Amino acid sequence: MRASDRQARLKRAKELGRLAFDMLRYEDLVGIIAIEGKDKYLREFDRRGLSGSYVTPSRPGRPYEFSRIQVRHLGRKVLEIHWSKAGAFQLVAYEPGDWEELLDWLANVF
């Protein structure tokens, strides 16, 4: 994959991540889960075959702890990103497809 293709892919994944974040940040807190020995807040949505989860550190002031957004379409993971307040960013999974249009629509409806 060429560098320009990788950059375009990363840019699109970030755009989709922002849409998912806009939806997930307003969802009710589902609970607290432990990931890698650290407690994280969990928020989720599930609409029209598209589901997502947003995991954030449960304690403020921890800039190196990661947050995560994961999106699934019909049960299949299509997007996962991790980031920290310290500036780290990692695209873990991104599978382009029809789900992108559905996410865009849902983000603008809710």
Residue 101, domain extent: 3-109
Question: How many structural domains is the chain composed of?
Answer: 1
Closest CA to 40 of 86, 84, 80, 2: 84
HEC-encoded secondary structure of 52-109? EEEEEECCCCCCCCEEEEEEEECCEEEEEEEEECCCCEEEEEECCCCHHHHHHHHHHH
**CA distance linking residue 38 with residue 5, whole number of Å:** 35
Q: What is the mean pLDDT of residues 38-43?
A: 94
pLDDT for 98 equals 96
Q: Is the pLDDT of residue 62 over 90?
A: no
Q: Is the pLDDT of residue 1 over 80?
A: no
Q: Is the pLDDT of residue 61 over 80?
A: no
pLDDT for 110 equals 65
